Structures are given as structure tokens and as C-alpha cells.
């Protein structure tokens, strides 16, 4: 939708991603379909976000002969889910890269101080040595994503990417201000945020739609 984004924002505009996203946006799409579509889109987004994983060659033996073939050069990436909606993206990512490590970060916003408060944090001890892909379906105000990445950087993560399904221009700007070094991958940059912090036109509350809560 809105294509004027910083250079390190990639909009994954593959037709399958876009038509599945349209289905997810429909208000009549029920939770089970929403979850399935999110998982399917996540596979396609994971494909894009891992496109530049470094390879090396190793000798293996096929039934015919020994020869050199590509394998991952480094340790498998680490996926970090921002709770709770991030877990909806994680499912598809894990299907594609089952040996990836996984961490979870839980943050809520204190209504008085407006600071992000951490209520859960569990990540692999070696995130400094892995590519770290942080996932959350919605980049809305950007505050949670900025705080999560800050926390991970404090723990030594330096090779980071952020993957979401939808972003608001306001969220992209806030994220870029906080972490200009972290590339963002998204299926769409929508029009704006509304006064309640929802992405417009968006798809509503991603967590509620994944888990059927309200
Ligand atoms: N979080 C959501 O789930 N939806 C929005 O539109 C914004 C933030």
C-alpha cells in the first residue's frame, strides 16, 4: 500500500502472500482459517528473510559419488517471538527451519509511564553467535519491537532482522529511529495508525484473531 519506506525495509509482495493476507484481513475470516493462513504466509516470509543465509560447501556421498554440496556456514538462526501474537508466525518459521533455536520476549506497556515493561524473557544463551530473527505480526507504534530489540542487543545479539506481517508507517519510522541497523521484512505497509493504536485498514487485533479471544 504505502511504498515510501526506508531502504532496509523489504515488502514481500509475492502474489501468494498478498492474496493470503487479503483473506486474513476479512473480518469474517474465523480463527482457525486465520491461524492457517498466518502459518502459510509465515513460510513464505521465512523463505524471504532467510534468503541471504551464508552457505559453505561440504563433501557428501550420494548413491552415485562423493561431491561437494552447499550447507549452512554458520549455526542455525534463532527466532525470537514477541508474545503473544509472535507465536502465530513462529509456527510457520519452525516448519521451514526445524533446527532453529527459539526465544520468547513478553513486554507490556505501562499505562502511566508508557515504558515497555518486561514480564517474560527466555532466549538461547548464544544469541551473540547466531542470526536473530525477531517476529511479531504487527509493527504498529513500534514501541514493543524497539524495546525487544534493545533487550536482545543488551544480551549481545548483533545480527538481527525483524519480521512482521503488517506495518504502519509510524511503526516503521519509530523502529528505524531506534534501530536503523536492523532490516525489516513485512508483507504490507498500511495507511496509518488510528487513535487506538490499530493499523488502518489492518486486520484488527492479531492476537485475538489467532487465538479467538476478545
Ligand atoms: N496490534 C494488533 O494486533 N493490531 C493492530 O492493528 C495494532 C497492534
pLDDT tens profile 57-67: 999 999 999 99
- Which position has the grid cell 476478545? 214
- Which parts of 158-213 fold into alpha helices (H)? 169-178, 206-211
pLDDT at position 186 over 90: yes
Any domain includes 158 = yes
Any domain includes 151 = yes
174-203 mean pLDDT: 96
Any domain includes 3 = no
The torsion defined by the Cα of 126, 127, 130 and 132, in degrees rounded to 10, comes to 160
Q: Is the CB of 206 under 6 A from ligand 1?
A: yes
Query: Residue 193 sits in which domain range?
Result: 9-53+76-198
Q: Which residues are catalytic?
A: 109, 113, 205, 208
Any domain includes 67 = no
- Mean residue pLDDT of the chain comes to 94
Distance CA 116, CA 146 (A): 9
CATH number at 121 reads 3.40.50.2020
pLDDT at position 191 over 90: yes
pLDDT at position 95 over 80: yes
Any domain includes 64 = no
206 in a labelled binding site = yes
Any domain includes 192 = yes
155 neighbors 130 (Cβ within 8 angstroms): no
- The DSSP bridge pattern shows strands 160-163 and 132-135 to be parallel
- Calculate the alpha carbon distances from 7 to 71, 103, 172, 176, 189 in Å: 29, 28, 11, 10, 13
Any domain includes 31 = yes
Nearest to 49 by CA among 202, 185, 200: 185
Domain tally, the chain: 1
pLDDT digits (tens, 9 = 90+) for 102-160: 999 999 877 777 678 999 999 999 999 999 999 999 999 999 999 999 999 999 999 99
ipTM score: 0.95
In this predicted model, which residue has the larger pLDDT, 1 or 167?
Answer: 167
pLDDT at position 33 over 90: yes
Any domain includes 152 = yes
Among the atoms of ligand 1, which is closest to the Cα of residue 206? 3
Amino acid at each position: 500500500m504505502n511504498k515510501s519506506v526506508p531502504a532496509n525495509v523489504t515488502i514481500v509482495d509475492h502474489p501468494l502472500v498478498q492474496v493470503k493476507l487479503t483473506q486474513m484481513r476479512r473480518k469474517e475470516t474465523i480463527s482457525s482459517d486465520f491461524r492457517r493462513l498466518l502459518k502459510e504466509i509465515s513460510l513464505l516470509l521465512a523463505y524471504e528473510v532467510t534468503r541471504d543465509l551464508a552457505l559453505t560447501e561440504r563433501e557428501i556421498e550420494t548413491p552415485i559419488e562423493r561431491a561437494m554440496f552447499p550447507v549452512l556456514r554458520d549455526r542455525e538462526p534463532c527466532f525470537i517471538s514477541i508474545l503473544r501474537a509472535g507465536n502465530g508466525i513462529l509456527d510457520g518459521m519452525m516448519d521451514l527451519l526445524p533446527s532453529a533455536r527459539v526465544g520468547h520476549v513478553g513486554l507490556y506497556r505501562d499505562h502511566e509511564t508508557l515504558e515497555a515493561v518486561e514480564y517474560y524473557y527466555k532466549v538461547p544463551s548464544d544469541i551473540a553467535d547466531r542470526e536473530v530473527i525477531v517476529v511479531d505480526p504487527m509493527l504498529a507504534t513500534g514501541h514493543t519491537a524497539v524495546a525487544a530489540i534493545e533487550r536482545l542487543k543488551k544480551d549481545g545479539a548483533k545480527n538481527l532482522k525483524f519480521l512482521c506481517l503488517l506495518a504502519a508507517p509510524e511503526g516503521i519510522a519509530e523502529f528505524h529511529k531506534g534501530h536503523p541497523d536492523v532490516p525489516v521484512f513485512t508483507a504490507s505497509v498500511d495507511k496509518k495508525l488510528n487513535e487506538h493504536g490499530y493499523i488502518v485498514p489492518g486486520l484488527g487485533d492479531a492476537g485475538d484473531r489467532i487465538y479467538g479471544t476478545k
